Structures are given as C-alpha cells and as structure tokens.
Amino acid sequence: MSCKSILLASAALVTLAGAARAQEAAPAETQSATVEEIIVTGTKQAQNIQNVPASVLVVTAANLERGNVRDFDDLPRAAPSLTISKTTQPANNSINIRGIGTYAFSIATQPSVAVVIDDVPQAFQAAAFSALVDVAQVEVLRGPQSTLFGKAASAGVVNITTEAPSKVFTAKADALVTDDHERRLQASVSGPVSDTVAVRLAANYSHYRGNILNLTTGNWQNGTTDYTVRAKVAWSPTDRFTATLSPYYTKTDGTCCAPAQYFLSPGVTFSRANLPASTILAGITPGKNNRLTRLDLDTQGFAEDYGTGLRLAYDLPGGGSLMSISSYDKYRLEDFKDSDSSDFDFSTLTVGGVNFATAPKGGVGDGGSFDVETVTQELRLTSAGDKRLRYVAGLFYSQTDSTRDYVRGSNTHGNFNGVIFNGQQQLPTTNSLVYSSYLTNSTSKTYAAFAQGSYDVTDKLTVIGGLRYHHEKLSYDFLDRDTGVTYGKPGCSTNTPTPSLKISTCDSDSVVTGKAAVQYRFTPGFMVFANVAKGYKGLAYDLTSILTTRTPTTAAGSCFGLPVADCVASRQPVPPETSKSYEAGLKGSFFDRRLTWNMTAYFEDYRHFQAQSRDLDLGQNILQSLGKVTSKGVETEVAIYAGGLTLNANGAYNRARMDQFLNAPCYAAQTAAEGCVGGRQNLSGKGLPNAPEWTASVTGQYDWRLAAGYGAFVQASWRWQSEVNFSLVQDPDAVQEAYGIFNLGAGVQKDNWKVSLFANNLFDQNYALTKGRDNAWNFSRTATPATLAVNWKPGRDSERYFGVRAQVKY
C-alpha cells in the first residue's frame, strides 16, 4: 500500500470515530463498560488471558465479524504472527506461526502448527481449511506448545472453540452476499430439551466462485463451496457431571489451486511442445492483473470430513475436575491438477517420427486421494483454579491411519513414460514430466503423559513448570504400481530390490519436552513474565513419488549406479525436529480495564528442521534435516474501549532465518553466477518463505444510538505486511512487495436484527497469494536478452469487492 493509501486509511478511521463521537453513545445493553474479559482454554485450564504467562492472541466472535474473518484462510487478517502458505493443492498448504511452518508434505510427516477444535487435535492439517462455523473464539498460541499438545505443535497451536448449548432457547441466522459471487448462509438453534439435556445445532452453506477463469472449460478456479453441520448434545444428570457429544460433518468442493500467467518474455515457447504463447495462451495477456488461464481440466480439491467428540466432565468435591475427551474423525480429500499447465492436446504431436494420435487425448495431470482416519483419547485432571497450587495432568493416546493414492500421468490417470499401461499408448516424453503411480499407507501411534503446574510463591510471584513424556510409533508400506516394487510388506520389512540396501519401514522414538516460566504481578492489572519451552516434531518418512524413481544415481557416492528410490528409502526416517523457545513479556490492564496492552519478545531455535535439500550422495532433492533455523522478534496487542468505540490493534516484528542451509536446491533457471553449483546453493542466513518481517492490523467499530430504538455502527479494519518471498529456495521472482488492505463497513441494528454494508480492499490493492518462476516455459536467464516466465495466484481480496450482510437472532 502506498503512503497516500496509508494516510487515507488512517484518516478514514479517525474521521469515522470523530463523527461518531458527535452522536449519543450506544445503549448500555449493547456495549460493555470495559474491554471484555477473555477466558482462554489453550492451556487446558480456563484462565483470563491477562494472567497467562505466554504469548497468546485471542480473536473473539465479535472480532471475527468486525474483521470479515469467515474462513480459516482469513485468520491472518486478525492474527499478524499467523500466515498461510498456499501451494499446488490443499494438502500441501502450510500454517505458519512466527514464520515457522511445514516444508515437507507426506502422509508420514507432521505439521509444525497444530489445529485443535473443541479440545480435539486435527490429525490432517488440510481438514482445517474450511468455513468457521458457530465459532466462539480462536486462540493463537505462539511458539512451541509440545508440553500440552505434543508432536505437531513445535511452532504453535490454533485453538478453536465453538459455541456451547445454551440454557435458554436461542436462534440466529446470518446471510451474506458479495458482488464477486460469494454467497453465505449460517444458522443455529440452541436450548434445553429437558431438565438435563441441552442441544445446539449449527449449519453453514457458503459458495465463492473463484478469481481465475479457465477459458478452456469456462469454469472459475480457486473457489470453494462448503456445507457444514455441527451439533452438540449436553447431558447433565447431576450438578457435577456433564457429558457432551459433538458430531460434525463438512463437505468442501474446492477448485484450488490454479495459477495464471503473471509475466512472459516475448518469444518464449511452451516447454512441453515448443509452441508459441499465442497458441498456448490464446486470448490471454500475461500481467499482474491477469486472472485468466487455459487448462484442459479444472483443478479440484473435494473434501469430506466427519466424526464426533465425546467429552465427559466431572466436577470434584472441593474444586477441580476430571475429564475424558474421546474423538473419532474420518477425512477424505480428492485432488487433481493439470500438470502441464495448459490445454494442449499431446495426442496431436509427432516426435522423432513417432505419431501419438492413439495416445489419450489431452495432456498430463496428477492427483488422487488422501484418506485419514484418527482416534484420540485424553484423560485430564485439573485442580481448582483458586488455590495456591494449580495444575493440570493427563494421559493421551492417538492412532492415525493414512492412505495416499497418487498418479501422475495422462488426464485419465493411467499412462506412463516408457510403458504401454492398460493397453494404451504412452504419452510423449517431450513433456519433460516424470510419470508416477503409487499407493502408500502410514500408521502413527502416540502415547503421552503430561503435567503442568503453577505455584504462587507470594501474592505477586508465581512459578510455572511442566513436562511431557511422548512416545510414538510410525510405520509405512509403499507400492510402486508401475514397477511392482513394494516397501514395508510384509509389515516392517527391511528388504529392497537392492540387496545391499536395507531400510526401516517401522520406527519409534521417545522424548521428554518441558516448559518453565515465572511471572510477577506489580499490581492486579499489570504483570511481567518470562518462559522457556522445548518443542518436538516427530519422525518423518518421505512417501512421495521419489520412491518410484528407479533410475540409477549418477552422483559419485556410495549409491552410485543404484536405484534412486532404494537409496532414498535407506536414508529414512528423517530425524525428529526439535526447538527451544525463550519469551519475555508484559501484560497490563489500565483505566478500569478500558485499555489492555500486551507485549512479548521471543527467540526460537530449531534444530534438524525438516525440509527438502540436496543430497550430494544421490544428486537428488529429498526430505532431510537442515542444520538450524531461528525466529526472533516482538509482538504486541492493544485493545481499547472508549465510549462507543472498540479498537483492537496488533503488530509484530519477526526475523525468521535459515541459519544453516548449505545444500539447498536451486530455483528454476538459476545460474552459477547466482550461486547454483552442481544443482545446489548455500542459503544460510536467508529468510524463511512467506515470513514477513513486519505485520500490523487494526480493527475498529463505533456504535451509537439513533431515534426510535435504532442503533448504527461503522466498522473499519486495516492490515499491512512487509515484503515476502514465497519460495524456500529464494526464487527472486517469487517476491511479493509490501502491501496493505483497508476494509470499511457500516450498518443499522434494532433489537434482534442487524444489516450492514461493507467494502473490502477499498483502495483496490492488488497482491499475490503466491507466485514464482514457471517451468512450463522455455526461458533462459543467460540468453541475450534474458527471458523469463512467472505465474501467480491472486489473493481472495486482491480486488475491491462490496457486500451486504443481514443477521437476525432470537
């Protein structure tokens, strides 16, 4: 965003607030006298956020509404330390906190950020990318949280709490329509059905068309349609015992993640068939505003997720509680993308005198399905919250069974280079894509015991300590359907087709993680704290198409002349990733809680960071451990209530770096002068991808009373981030410059209804969700003149759009 736009945004906020102050403040029943008290549960104990000695950001239901946060993808608007990296398909998206996320994608790798919904961890991170339905609040716990949440929380936790059944009958509905073809309807009913049973039912339908048009099929890409139903049934036969059953079902039909051409040098040809851009991109002009593409098949990400949680809670005499939390989840994702990034029909080619007219019509596509089934069980003992010694202790078990069925071949998913598969002629090798087909299964079992306690040494000084013992078992089997080669069958087999190479398809690991903290309260409303925590991310297997690569290695190492796949398998599993975090901060409430201010400084040190890197012995890029990654910075949050004005401001400085990355892969067409030697480069000291150094967000609302019982309000929000590079390997054309987005809204309300109008991205600031060099084109950085091809995916709100929202409640 330009300086002029920033000044206009700031002026708009000030003008709106100033104009509103001339009116009578909102009635007391619609406004709090102070900043609302926020209770967090991410510490597995209900605590006021101002008393938690750690960096926690809470986004309440009201703030979700003010910030136009409707889907999980939208959360970075309200949480500056949180970013989401989009790639080629939903299962490869990464949730990042303080710049730390996941850069290795396989059913046998763990995310760095755990997503927990109503005390139940999500085993497969892609399941989180759906609409936020009936959400009470979202907590972002920053930094390693392995002591309470285990192996998938080495960088943090996103803890989502949905609304509970109410003791009186309530109902509400929320409808939204935008001029860029988003439709959304959400409704809920809640209340008692007897003296001991209360029920809540929430449903959501949402549809967004997308922002890239596929000219070949006539369909829009990068959109989504979501159907969600959530229920809670609470049974309280006594004052001390409550059983809550929480079934849910979500179906998401998405068209993520199609790119469009951002830049293309004149004369550059399509690499798959050496054809000009005028043929491949007919009707398309590449540019930073281009939202047109040509694919012979639409991208897809069709997901279905269902399951239930069962929470049994018993309040102990004298305070405290004993709790059992059980869950079952079944998730399936069907994904597909056009691998050749075009609508070119390869069956029209003649290569080397060979005519491919009998090959399958169309091009090259890849995808398949993910199936993930998870069972968890937690037993938790929590002490009374008003004692000098407070604690939580528990046991945890989980089992996750995952399957990946994958094909990279023709658009019909059945054809490979070098073979006639299912009686069909192979596709031409000129497309430079390596074909692959595999079926792999992975089982992960986790056993853990944890405890964390707080002790008030004095009325002002409190010390906190916690430990977790974690044991995991991880196993896999893998079938290369093209060659028939199998790993891990029978179970835990160590055999490969290369007798000299033995592998491990079953492994286990045990670790103890912990946390220690101290806090000092100068006054009841102001305290300082410091803490240190250890994080852990488990063993990993790279169960991807690298295990179907049967070509001999050419690097002069111990694997010279041996099949790549067997050598890669012999180097697994990848060791666990570990982290240490150090935090110091302050939390204060001032002016009778009309102002709260929190600030945290931190340093995080990650060792054995799991990511793709160059194996010099194999001459291949494979999943390995980097030497060292660090993240350090400062975060701050401010909340203000003054009359009818509610204001939330968040900001962060974060410096996330790859301190040791000696054998990083090269980016497309990287030259020796640019540091690429032997297919590798040294990226030590470079920044992590999609990790802005500076982020900020401000959200405000002013309410005032009109005549005849009506009320009016204005809402404004602004978010800004500094420059980022989307590429782990530092592609110089994967850079998004700093930008800011300003949203504005206004509405009227009376009694139980509310209607509002809004404009998102008021100043029409264009930005990319991701972009980078495009290997589908024959470009050269050493040619004279140098040539280039870049594609991109625009952000959901990278163009201005308008909408109307209507809400009613009973």
Mean pLDDT, the chain, rounded, equals: 89
What would the mean pLDDT of 451-467 be, rounded to a whole number? Answer: 97
Does residue 43 carry a pLDDT above 70?
A: yes
Q: Tokens 């109307």, residue?
A: 804
Q: Could you give the percent of the chain with pLDDT greater than 90? A: 72
Report residue 421's pLDDT band, with 50, 70 and 90 as the boundaries.
Answer: very low
Taking the C-alpha atoms of residue 545 and residue 435, their distance in angstroms, rounded to an integer, is 9
Report residue 20's pLDDT band, with 50, 70 and 90 as the boundaries.
Answer: very low
Nearest to 574 by CA among 507, 648, 525, 671: 507
Respond yes or no on whether the N-terminal peptide bond of residue 259 is cis (omega within 30° of 0): no
Does residue 28 carry a pLDDT above 80?
A: no
Beta strands 768-773 and 789-794, pairing class: antiparallel
Residue 105: the pLDDT is 80
Three-state SS at 51: helix
What would the mean pLDDT of 367-382 be, rounded to a whole number? Answer: 96
Does residue 17 carry a pLDDT above 50?
A: no
What would the mean pLDDT of 724-742 be, rounded to a whole number? Answer: 95
Taking the C-alpha atoms of residue 588 and residue 639, their distance in angstroms, rounded to an integer, is 11
CA atoms within 13 A on the CB side of 345: 10
Residue 351: the pLDDT is 63
Report residue 10's pLDDT band, with 50, 70 and 90 as the boundaries.
Answer: very low
Three-state SS at 90: helix
Taking the C-alpha atoms of residue 450 and residue 469, their distance in angstroms, rounded to an integer, is 6
Residue 33: the pLDDT is 53
Report residue 7's pLDDT band, with 50, 70 and 90 as the boundaries.
Answer: very low
Report residue 31's pLDDT band, with 50, 70 and 90 as the boundaries.
Answer: very low
What pLDDT digit, counting tens, does each position of 267-317 carry?
A: 999 987 788 999 999 999 999 999 999 998 899 899 999 999 999 999 999
What would the mean pLDDT of 444-461 be, rounded to a whole number? Answer: 97
Residue 434: the pLDDT is 62
What would the mean pLDDT of 764-778 be, rounded to a whole number? Answer: 93
Specify whether the CB–CB gap between 94 and 300 falls below 8 A.
Answer: no
* Contact partners, residue 11, CB within 8 Å, separation at least 6: none
What pLDDT digit, counting tens, does each position of 142-170 carry?
A: 999 999 999 889 999 999 999 999 999 99
Residue 359: the pLDDT is 62
Q: Quick count: other Cβ atoms within 10 Å of Cβ 216?
A: 17
Does residue 577 carry a pLDDT above 80?
A: yes
Measure CA 381 to chain center: 31
Taking the C-alpha atoms of residue 628 and residue 391, their distance in angstroms, rounded to an integer, is 34
Taking the C-alpha atoms of residue 201 and residue 246, their distance in angstroms, rounded to an integer, is 10
What domains are there in the chain, each with its CATH number? Answer: 3-809 (2.40.170.20)
Per the confidence metrics, is the pTM higher than 0.75?
yes
